[in-house]
């Protein structure tokens, strides 16, 4: 059973006004449980609007959203339960911190779920460990921490609720390369250990290629494709035409292919590039 499924999902901002805009247009997709999915698209493509439908922040103008096979909007009194099941970390989530200690901030969600104090403590400490926060940070004010540490506190606050689906909207925006790699590495480790579904929204095709197993591509409010990473990078020319930056190594292999070399075009990291060159040399040696 898919963790998330949409049927003909559409959303229109300001309908019936001069500012009417279709942000999501007839999207049909099924995301299986346990997947690590990269979500990409140019600014205004509809990707952020789409993910806000997955935990009920937006109600569809048309179509359906299913979480674990249940219609998200069939019973509005259950929306709160779905929002605990599908955790959403917004871009620049550190601006949502408000408690006077890190521990209280991370524990806010679990406490509102009605967990016992023992369950809350375990959830908080487990979530803090996942994002690399130490016990010494727990009694500090989150506002005393560095930008990267604040980001990790905010992510831990969502992880502490143990959502079946974790959605992160540009979680590394504004961070330096070291901070970006640390957070993305911790998210990957969380996914590997817990096995929950993770959706990573990013403008960086490099990050998507490095961390995701599948990719959902939005273009002009519509779903362009949803497929394995390698299959998506077969369409690198079309993705580049959308205004997205394709990894340099992918551009090189597409150019080699255009020049007549019999190389595969779905190369998106150095290991695959090495394997492909060795394969080509081996075949030429045999010839």
Mean pLDDT score, 26-37: 97
Q: What is the pLDDT of residue 93?
A: 82
Domain 2-246 sits in CATH 3.40.50.300: yes
Own/partner pairs, 176-185, CB within 8 angstroms, 24+ separation: 176/148, 179/147, 179/148, 179/151, 180/207, 182/132, 182/148, 183/131, 183/148, 183/151, 183/152, 183/155, 184/210, 184/211
Decide the pairing of beta strands 197-201 and 165-169. parallel
**CA–CA separation, 199 vs 147, rounded Å?**
22
Residue 154 has pLDDT above 70, yes or no: yes
Q: What is the pLDDT of residue 180?
A: 87
Under the banding of pLDDT at 50, 70 and 90, the label for residue 92 is confident
Residue 284 has pLDDT above 80, yes or no: no
Decide the pairing of beta strands 21-32 and 214-219. unpaired
Q: Which residues pair with 215 in a beta bridge?
A: 38, 227
DSSP 3-state assignment of 153? helix
Domain ranges for the chain, please list them. Answer: 2-246, 247-287
**Burial class for 104, CB neighbours closer than 10 Å (0-12, 13-18, 19+):** middle
Q: What is the pLDDT of residue 167?
A: 96
Let me know: does 253 contact 272? Beta carbons within 8 Å. Answer: no
Mean pLDDT score, 146-167: 92
**CA–CA separation, 19 vs 36, rounded Å?**
35
**CA–CA separation, 150 vs 186, rounded Å?**
14
Residue 174 has pLDDT above 60, yes or no: yes
For residue 27, the 8-state DSSP code is: E
Residue 18 has pLDDT above 70, yes or no: yes
Tens of pLDDT, residues 235-269: 888 888 888 888 888 889 989 999 998 898 888 88
Q: What is the pLDDT of residue 120?
A: 95
Q: Measure the N-to-C terminal CA separation of the chain; round to a whole number of Å.
A: 48
Core vs surface per residue 23-39: b (16+ CB within 10 A) or e: bbbebebebeeebbbbb
Averaged confidence pLDDT in the chain: 92
In this structure, what token pair is assigned to residue 139? Answer: 């009694």
Residue 147 has pLDDT above 90, yes or no: no
Name, of 51-65, 200-214, 229-243, the range with top average pLDDT.
51-65
Q: What is the pLDDT of residue 184?
A: 92
Q: Which pTM value belongs to this model?
A: 0.90
Higher pLDDT, 106 or 95: 106
Q: Where are the beta strands (DSSP E) in the chain?
A: 2-13, 21-32, 36-40, 62-67, 70-71, 86-89, 165-169, 197-201, 214-219, 222-228
Let me know: does 159 contact 130? Beta carbons within 8 Å. Answer: yes
Alpha helices in 116-218 (DSSP H): 117-130, 147-159, 177-194, 205-211
């Amino acid at each position: 059973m898919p963790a998330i499924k949409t049927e003909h999902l559409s959303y229109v901002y300001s309908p019936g006004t001069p500012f009417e805009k279709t942000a999501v247009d007839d999207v049909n997709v099924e995301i299986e449980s346990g997947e690590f999915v990269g979500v990409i698209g140019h600014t205004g493509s509809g990707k952020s609007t789409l993910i806000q439908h997955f935990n009920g922040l937006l109600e569809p103008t048309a179509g359906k959203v299913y979480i674990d096979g249940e219609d998200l909007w069939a019973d509005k009194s259950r929306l709160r339960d779905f929002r605990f099941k599908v955790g959403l970390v917004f871009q620049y989530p550190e601006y949502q911190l408000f408690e006077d200690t890190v521990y209280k901030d991370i524990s806010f969600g679990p406490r509102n779920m009605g967990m016992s104090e023992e369950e809350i403590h375990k959830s908080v400490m487990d979530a803090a460990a996942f994002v690399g926060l130490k016990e010494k940070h727990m009694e500090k004010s989150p506002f005393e921490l560095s930008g990267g540490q604040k980001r990790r506190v905010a992510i831990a606050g969502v992880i502490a609720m143990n959502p079946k689906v974790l959605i992160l909207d540009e979680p590394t925006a504004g961070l330096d390369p070291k901070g970006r790699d640390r957070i993305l590495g911790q998210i990957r480790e969380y996914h590997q250990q817990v096995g929950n579904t993770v959706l990573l929204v990013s403008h960086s095709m490099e990050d998507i290629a490095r961390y995701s197993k599948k990719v959902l591509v939005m273009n002009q409010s519509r779903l362009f494709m949803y497929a394995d990473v390698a299959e998506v990078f077969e369409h690198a020319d079309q993705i580049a035409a959308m205004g997205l930056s394709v990894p340099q190594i992918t551009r090189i292999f597409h150019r080699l292919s255009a020049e007549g070399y019999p190389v595969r075009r779905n190369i998106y990291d150095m290991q695959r590039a090495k394997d492909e060159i060795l394969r080509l040399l081996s075949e030429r040696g045999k010839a």
